Every structure is written in structure tokens, then in C-alpha cells.
Chains A and B, each alone.
Chain A
Amino acid sequence: MGGELSCPVPLPPGGRILLAHGGGGRLTRELVERLFVPAFSNDALAELHDAAVLASPGSRLAFTTDSFVVHPMFFPGGDVGSLAVNGTVNDLAMSGARPLYLSLGFILEEGLAVDDLARVVASIRRAAGDAGVAVVAGDTKVVERGKGDGVYITSSGVGAVVAKQPVSPGRVRPGDAVIVSGPVGQHGVAVMAVRDGLRFSSPILSDCASVAAPALALLEAGLDVHCLRDPTRGGVATVLNEIATQAGCEIAVHESAVPVGEDVSGACEVLGLDPLYVACEGRFIAFVAPGDAEAALALLRARPDTAAAARIGTVGAGSPGLVTLKTRAGGERVLDLLSGEQLPRIC
């Protein structure tokens, strides 16, 4: 991590973003041509036309958008830039689509250090490369000091649907296995730890990453995957509640089956958090037909990025929208939605 740049920064290092950088004039063009375009080098972007013209990616498109206002901008394991790429890439993958193109809208705060912006851009470039997507369109605005928070990014993404059957909550059925792709709660804790001044013997890194490869691998292996969802804000518990409601099913979860790292576990105790409600940015939950559950788990566990995948529960036919938890101590309770803002501005 830490500021290595894969492209030269022509704007003065140590310099600051000015209102004029968003004005559309010479400074804007310098910013675009000397910072953004070289970082994202692709033909569509290099045209610098009003819109990117792209080859049609197949019979069905997936299209999504999201905004990123995380505070602080840089955290262990990622930053607002890598979040902006992976968040959108993952949304496309959750719809059964191969992510292809991204657009990025930047709202910069007057006074932002150019070095920080360059660091974010380098991070975007790395994340986009890892995810196999091209940044083909973008926009930059600058707001007065105090009216922003460093960098806000809106990213939209387009992908080609590869799943032969629709991947959606509507296909979830009683009997489906609920599988999580890896240990939970890392992102939320990593961000809170920075805000809270918590130190770690080995630092907790956000799990911010693209999950497109393992998700698409499941689909391309022909496994009967009914639904995919990434547990971002509100964590696993929130996603399960959403799916249970949308699918009109009940979901039963075993607390001891949910993988949680020891460091995350300790931090959650200190911060008074339940890992089931803490955001992940590089995990997904798959609802898989019972017959294919073992194969799905085996496929994921064979990959280094999803080696800790685990089955955490089963979809049932009981009360629609109800999520129940068999607790570690043996009792059972409802795993309900949280109220209010638990962890503001973590993505």
C-alpha cells in the first residue's frame, strides 16, 4: 500500500485541488489528461468524447450504480477508490454478470492534497486491473472546502450476464443451502478501528476485493445457484433478512458455523458489535440448491480467495421473512434487522 504510483503525477506533488480543477477549463483538462487517462489507459476513455462507445457485450446487460463516501478515505486494506471499483463490480457479479465497464464520477473537496488523489487513482487502477474491468467514462467536480469530505465517488458499472438462469431472490427455495464465501466483519471493523484508535497485533485489513471470479466460477460450473448477495452495510444478518423477505421464505442460521477471524472477534467484543451485522466488502452469500451445495462448497474451498467458505444455514418453508439463529450457547432467537445507523459512513 502507501502511495506508490504507477503513473507520473504532473500536477505539483504537495499541491492542492482547487475549485478551478472542477471548472471545465484548462486545469480540469490537465487533471483528466495527466492523472485520470494515463491511469486507466484504454481506447474508449482515450477518445475523451462526451460518451464512451462500446461493443455491445451480449444479449443481456447488467447495469448498476453506487456512491462511496467512506470516512476515513484511507483504511487498512483499501480506500475509497478500491471500494468504488469493487463495490460496483461485486454488484454486477451478484446478478450473474461478468463486469466489463465502469464510469467514475468524482466530487473533490477544495484543498484535497493532490498526492492523496493520486493515491486513490492508483488504487482504482489496481482494483480495476484485478477485477478485469475498464474505466471508460468519468467526471470531476470540485466543491468548496467544508462542503465535501476529501473524495466522494459515484461509480456505475455494466456487465454481460453469463448466468443461464436468473440469479435473484425470487429463485430461492426451501431447502437451499446458505453459503458464505469467507470470514465476515473485516471491512466494518477495519474502518471502525481507524476511527477508534484500536491497535492490532497484526492489523485487521478490510476484505475489500472483487468477488466476481469465484461467483462466476460457481455459475460457469453449471451449479444450481439461485441467488447471490454481498453483505455490505448491515452485514450478513441484514442480507439474510432482505432475501428472506423478498423470497417469502424462512432462513435458519447456525451462529457457530459463521466464520469470523479471531482478530475481528476480539475487536467486535471491545467495540460492542455483533460480527453478523458488520459490513464485508469482499464476500458473498450464495443460495444453492441442496443437491449442489457440497460441490459449491468444494469449488470455493479449493480457491485461495474463498478457502474459508462455509455453509451457515438453510432456507426453510416456515414464516416468510423470518431469520432465526441457533446461538453458540444453544438457545435460539430471531436474527432481526438493526435499527438506526450502526456504523455511519463505512462505504
Chain B
Amino acid sequence: MRYLDEYRDGSAAQRYAETLRAIVTRPWTLMEVCGGQTHSIVRYGVDEMLPPGVTLVHGPGCPVCVTPVGILDRAFRIARRPEVVFTSFGDMLRVPGSSDDLLHVRAEGGDVRVVYSPLDAVAIAEREPDRQVVFFAVGFETTAPANAMAVKLAAQKRLRNFSLLVAQVRVPPALEAILAEPECRVQAFLAAGHVCTVMGTAEYRPLVERHRVPVVVTGFEPLDLLQGVAMAVRQLEEGRHEVEIQYARVVRPEGNPVARRAIEEVFEVTDRTWRGLGPIPHSGLGVNARYAEFDAERRFPDDAPAAREDPECRAGLVLQGRLRPRECPAFGTRCTPEHPLGAPMVSSEGACAAYWLYRRRRDPAGAAAGAGAA
């Protein structure tokens, strides 16, 4: 496949690894932000190709993983209503809330349907006018334009039976929060390529200036990741701290202005609690006043009973890059994809899920390489 296969070329990957080995003089710790990048790294063994001393820690870039338990519990309550068709991305179905998940709600009779796109949910609302269709709008800025489009389409069609349950999050405040932790060892970021496709790079300049950390906007294939690491390591070796774009074929510094205008039209910045990280100011998006009728929280008001998190779940540390999944005592014992304690074990972008799928057992190469692999 064009624009995919070329970036998976084994010999080019090998050469990147060799050049890195030649220019690295000190240990460096980098964080890749996006869960999609984490999966690619673990799947293709990118971290094992890096020279000893260059360590990748996994970031919080899994929107499914950071959806707060309170919103999940609220989703289950809405999905149980007989008049509701609850639509969601497939990932969300197995994520545990305080005591439940959408799969169980469906098994008990809730009309829960997986959709590939928020636009599909609008189509369902049109086809089934006597049902209330709610779309679980989970995601980073990458997904916000699609959610905005869905709301605008519903408004244009004057649908009275469509709403979003919003759990959108913004990346830059989360990176600030990670950098603010005293134990933070991250010296550079590989920023999320598709988030920046929409938002551009402007938001990262204050962060780079204030914390003097390189930020390299990186793609998802092995060569993208290796080039991103190379660009970040060069900045570190040369004492620079700038925003650079590795994923140049897709990302422009200004992002996608049409998509951003749509986001600004429908959403506003809110405070948001990140599961595992806690409340982060201005880190979320919510439906604004103009489109308030499409906000499921307004359409289905409820008093929120306290959300409960399993005390044994260490997802927060994993999401901050301070604990590797296999270092968690519950990994594979009390916590498995069939019976997860938290979200990262069941999300397609969760770090724990990546390690479960690709590194459940001691992998032969990992044991030898050592650096960055666990």
C-alpha cells in the first residue's frame, strides 16, 4: 500500500538504527505521546532497534484509556434507557467503569451499536426518528472535527433525536501536566502526528520555550518513529529545543484550518479529568452554548453517583510513562483483556494492551537488547 509499505522497510529501519548508534553520546529519555505510536513501536520492535541508553516511555495518548470513570458510568446509565440507541467506537465496549461495561449493558438488553464514524450515528438518527441516538464522542483533537461535522449535520437536518456524550481531550495540557511532575524523566516528546494534522504546531511553542524540551511531530510507521527519534536525539545532542515536524507529508505547521474552524464552531475548551492523571484545567472540549441541544449531558441530566476506580489499577502511572505495563503486579494476573482492572488493557491504543498482545512473554530479542525494552 502506497505511503504505508515504504515506511515499513526493514533495511531502511536498520540503517536508521545504525546511524543513531553513531551519533548518540549520552542516555536520553523520550516519550511518544500517542497510543497508536506505542502500538507500532511494540509491534515492530522499534524500541529494540534503538541504541542502548535511548529509552522510549509511553505517553497518555489513548483517548479510550483517559475517559473518566464518571463519564463511563453515565454512558452506561444512558445506554440502559429503552428509548436510546447508544453508538460508540468498538474500543469502548470493553472498558470497565465503576462496575460495568458497555458489552454487559448490551447483553442485558441495552441497544448498544458499534459505528465506524460519528456520521454513521447521524444516519441512524435519521433512519430511526423515534429513538434517541447518542454518540459517545471520545477522542483527541484528531476526532473532534468528525464529531463537529456530525453535530453540524444533525443541526442542518434539524434532528431532534441526536446528541453527543462528549469526552474529548486536548493533548498540550496533558504534556504540561506530565512535565510538571517532579519525577518526570522525559527529555523530549514525539508528538502525536494525527492530532497535529488538525491542530498544527503553534500550541507546542510555549511548552518548548517554558520547559526547554524538543518536540518532534511524528508519524506512526517504523521509519516515521525512527526518524522522529533521530530528529529528537539530534536536538538533544546539540542542545537545541524546537518544534520540528517529522511527519511532513501529512502535517503542516498551521494544521487544517477548515477542520479547526469546525471545532471552534461547535466546541469550547473545558476542564477535564483524565482517568489515571486526574483533573487537568482546560484539557477538554465540550459542546458550546450554540449547539447545547446536542449535548447528551443536557438531554439526559442525572445526579452523578460517585465513580469508583479499582485501587489495584495503576493505569495512571502507565499513562504518565512512569510504569511499564509488565512492571505492574496485576499485569496478566488480576488484569487481563477478559477481566481488565482499567482501560489501557482493553483499548486498541492502550499500552497494556500492546504489551499483552506483543510482549506477554519474555521475548527473545528483548531479553538480549535490554535498552528501552521491558
- Chain B residues closer than 8 Å to A332, beta-carbon distance: 45, 48, 363-365
Distance between A314 CB and nearest chain B CB, rounded to angstroms: 14
Interchain CB contact under 8 A, A340 and B43: no
Interchain CB contact under 8 A, A329 and B46: yes
Q: Given the known A-B contacts A266-B1, A327-B43, A339-B338, are A333 and B356 also in contact in the complex, defined by CB atoms under 8 Å?
A: no
Compute the total of residue contacts between A and B using a CB distance below 8 Å. Answer: 75
Question: Per DSSP, are chain A's interface residues mostly helix, strand or loop, or mixed?
Answer: loop
Interchain CB contact under 8 A, A331 and B46: yes
A313-333: which residues lie under 8 A (CB-CB) from chain B?
Answer: 318, 322, 324, 327-333
Q: Given the known A-B contacts A329-B44, A331-B45, A333-B365, are A340 and B337 also in contact in the complex, defined by CB atoms under 8 Å?
A: yes
Distance between A345 CB and nearest chain B CB, rounded to angstroms: 14
Interchain CB contact under 8 A, B49 and A269: no
Interchain CB contact under 8 A, A338 and B357: yes
Partner of B14, one of A322, A330, A340: A330
Chain B: CB-nearest residue to A197: B116
Q: Given the known A-B contacts A196-B116, A339-B336, are A334 and B360 also in contact in the complex, defined by CB atoms under 8 Å?
A: yes
B278 an interface residue at 8 Å Cβ cutoff? Answer: no
A116 an interface residue at 8 Å Cβ cutoff? Answer: no
Interchain CB contact under 8 A, B4 and A269: yes
A140 an interface residue at 8 Å Cβ cutoff? Answer: no
B1-15: which residues lie under 8 A (CB-CB) from chain A?
Answer: 1, 4, 8-11, 13-14
B-side interface size class: 20 to 34
Question: In the complex the two chains form, what is the Cα distance from A269 to B94 in whole Å?
Answer: 22
Interchain CB contact under 8 A, A331 and B48: yes
- Chain A residues closer than 8 Å to B94, beta-carbon distance: 340
- Chain B residues closer than 8 Å to A168, beta-carbon distance: none
- Chain A residues closer than 8 Å to B43, beta-carbon distance: 327, 333
Distance between B70 CB and nearest chain A CB, rounded to angstroms: 26
Chain B, 186-216, contact with A by CB distance < 8 Å: what is the 0/1 string? Answer: 0000000000000000000000000000000
Q: Given the known A-B contacts A339-B336, A340-B338, are A330 and B357 also in contact in the complex, defined by CB atoms under 8 Å?
A: no
B145 an interface residue at 8 Å Cβ cutoff? Answer: no
Interchain CB contact under 8 A, B336 and A272: no
Interchain CB contact under 8 A, B1 and A265: yes
Chain A: CB-nearest residue to B15: A330
- Chain B residues closer than 8 Å to A327, beta-carbon distance: 10, 43-45
A305 an interface residue at 8 Å Cβ cutoff? Answer: no
Question: In the complex the two chains form, what is the Cα distance from A318 to B356 in whole Å?
Answer: 21
- Chain A residues closer than 8 Å to B44, beta-carbon distance: 327-329, 331, 333
Interchain CB contact under 8 A, B4 and A333: no
Question: Per DSSP, are chain B's interface residues mostly helix, strand or loop, or mixed?
Answer: helix
Partner of B364, one of A256, A269, A324: A324
B344 an interface residue at 8 Å Cβ cutoff? Answer: no
Distance between B112 CB and nearest chain A CB, rounded to angstroms: 14
- Chain B residues closer than 8 Å to A242, beta-carbon distance: none
B331-374: which residues lie under 8 A (CB-CB) from chain A?
Answer: 336-338, 348, 356-361, 363-365
B222 an interface residue at 8 Å Cβ cutoff? Answer: yes
Question: In the complex the two chains form, what is the Cα distance from A228 to B315 in whole Å?
Answer: 42
Partner of B359, one of A265, A266, A333, A338: A333
Chain A: CB-nearest residue to B361: A334
B277 an interface residue at 8 Å Cβ cutoff? Answer: no
A336 an interface residue at 8 Å Cβ cutoff? Answer: yes
Partner of A328, one of B1, B8, B14, B356: B8
Q: Given the known A-B contacts A265-B1, A324-B363, A339-B336, are A331 and B357 also in contact in the complex, defined by CB atoms under 8 Å?
A: no
Chain B: CB-nearest residue to A250: B364
Interchain CB contact under 8 A, B363 and A333: yes
Chain A: CB-nearest residue to B337: A339
B40-70: which residues lie under 8 A (CB-CB) from chain A?
Answer: 42-46, 48-49
Question: In the complex the two chains form, what is the Cα distance from A262 to B222 in whole Å?
Answer: 20
Distance between A276 CB and nearest chain B CB, rounded to angstroms: 11
Q: Given the known A-B contacts A269-B1, A329-B13, A340-B337, are A334 and B49 also in contact in the complex, defined by CB atoms under 8 Å?
A: no
Question: In the complex the two chains form, what is the Cα distance from A336 to B222 in whole Å?
Answer: 20
Interchain CB contact under 8 A, B356 and A329: no
Distance between B325 CB and nearest chain A CB, rounded to angstroms: 14
Chain A: CB-nearest residue to B41: A331
Chain B: CB-nearest residue to A327: B44
- Chain B residues closer than 8 Å to A265, beta-carbon distance: 1
Question: In the complex the two chains form, what is the Cα distance from A318 to B94 in whole Å?
Answer: 35
Q: Given the known A-B contacts A333-B45, A339-B336, A339-B337, are A328 and B10 also in contact in the complex, defined by CB atoms under 8 Å?
A: yes
Interchain CB contact under 8 A, B1 and A330: no
Q: Give the residue among A262, A266, A329, A338 with the most B Cβ atoms within 10 A.
A: A329
Chain B: CB-nearest residue to A338: B357
Interchain CB contact under 8 A, A339 and B49: no
> What are 20 pairs between A and B in contact, CB < 8 Å?
A262-B1, A269-B4, A322-B364, A327-B10, A329-B8, A329-B9, A329-B44, A329-B46, A329-B223, A330-B45, A330-B49, A331-B49, A331-B222, A333-B359, A334-B361, A334-B363, A339-B357, A340-B94, A340-B337, A340-B338
Give chain B's interface residues, CB within 8 Å of chain A: 1, 4, 8-11, 13-14, 42-46, 48-49, 94, 116, 222-223, 336-338, 348, 356-361, 363-365
A-B CB proximity, top 3 nearest: A331-B45, A330-B10, A339-B337
Given contacts A318-B364, A331-B222, 18 further A-B contacts (CB under 8 A): A272-B348, A324-B363, A327-B10, A327-B45, A329-B10, A329-B223, A330-B13, A330-B45, A331-B49, A332-B363, A333-B45, A334-B358, A334-B363, A336-B358, A339-B337, A339-B356, A340-B337, A340-B338
